[in-house]
């Protein structure tokens, strides 16, 4: 499924609700990233979608993103909430899955002054490694639910050679307004 919305991290989260995804039983990232409004709040362009982000709680890294989406019978406003977390130099956007409250949807992100890059999990590669027992987790209805996230698991996820993130197809958001 092509991510076409939100701080696509958020999109990733919403995408999880109806498509195959990679989720975790604990939030990705050991620490909360403070989301200052100057850096995280604004209007962002992603292809043909405009996303507006609002910092809900700077200290806890909570963001809300909203955007308009065409539906068969008109236009709907979509809203998603999540938090920004980090482990070392790896940063993630994390949100609870609406259909599975014990699961977290996530994406790897890189944030600069006026742009944000997001890499979604490569679901098929995660499935292979979980089935082979090389990553802790299980496959449920075509989606992957990862087990305990040890430091070596996070390092493997962040290694381009492991092909666990969509490194060749990032979602890029450019800030066009505050």
Per-10-residue mean pLDDT of the chain, 178 residues long, equals 38 50 93 95 91 96 92 89 94 85 91 94 96 94 91 93 95 94
The proportion of the chain whose per-residue pLDDT surpasses 90, expressed as a percent, equals 71
Tokens coding 93: 């956007």
Classify residue 2: in a domain, yes or no. no
Which residue range is the domain that position 150 belongs to? 9-177
Looking at residue 47, what is its pLDDT? Answer: 83
Classify residue 4: in a domain, yes or no. no
Classify residue 1: in a domain, yes or no. no
Which among 131, 116, 124 is positioned nearest to 162, based on CA atoms? 124
Whole-model pTM: value is: 0.85
Calpha distance 108→65 (Å, rounded): 17
Looking at residue 71, what is its pLDDT? Answer: 83
Classify residue 35: in a domain, yes or no. yes
Written as one string, the DSSP assignment of 105-128 is EEEEEEE-SSEEEEE-B-HHHHHH
Classify residue 42: in a domain, yes or no. yes
Is the CB of residue 43 less than 8 Å from the CB of residue 176?
yes
Place of tokens 């070596």: 152
The tally of domains found in the chain comes to: 1
Which among 32, 33, 12, 31 is positioned nearest to 23, based on CA atoms? 12
């Amino acid at each position: 499924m092509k991510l076409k919305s939100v701080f696509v991290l958020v999109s990733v989260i919403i995408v999880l609700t109806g498509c195959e995804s990679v989720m975790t039983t604990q939030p990705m990232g050991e620490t909360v990233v403070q989301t200052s409004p100057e850096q995280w709040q604004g209007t962002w362009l992603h292809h043909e979608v405009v996303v507006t982000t609002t910092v809900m709680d700077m200290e806890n890294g909570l963001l809300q993103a909203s955007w308009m989406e065409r539906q068969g019978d008109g236009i709907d406003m979509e809203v998603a909430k999540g938090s920004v977390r980090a482990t070392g130099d790896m940063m993630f956007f994390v949100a609870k899955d609406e259909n599975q409250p014990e699961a977290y949807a996530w994406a790897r992100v890189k944030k600069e002054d006026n742009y944000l890059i997001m890499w979604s999990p490569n679901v098929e590669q995660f499935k292979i490694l979980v089935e082979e027992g090389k990553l802790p987790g299980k496959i449920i209805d075509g989606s992957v639910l990862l087990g305990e996230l040890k430091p070596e698991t996070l390092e493997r996820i962040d290694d381009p050679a492991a092909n666990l993130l969509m490194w060749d197809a990032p979602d890029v958001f450019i800030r066009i307004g505050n």
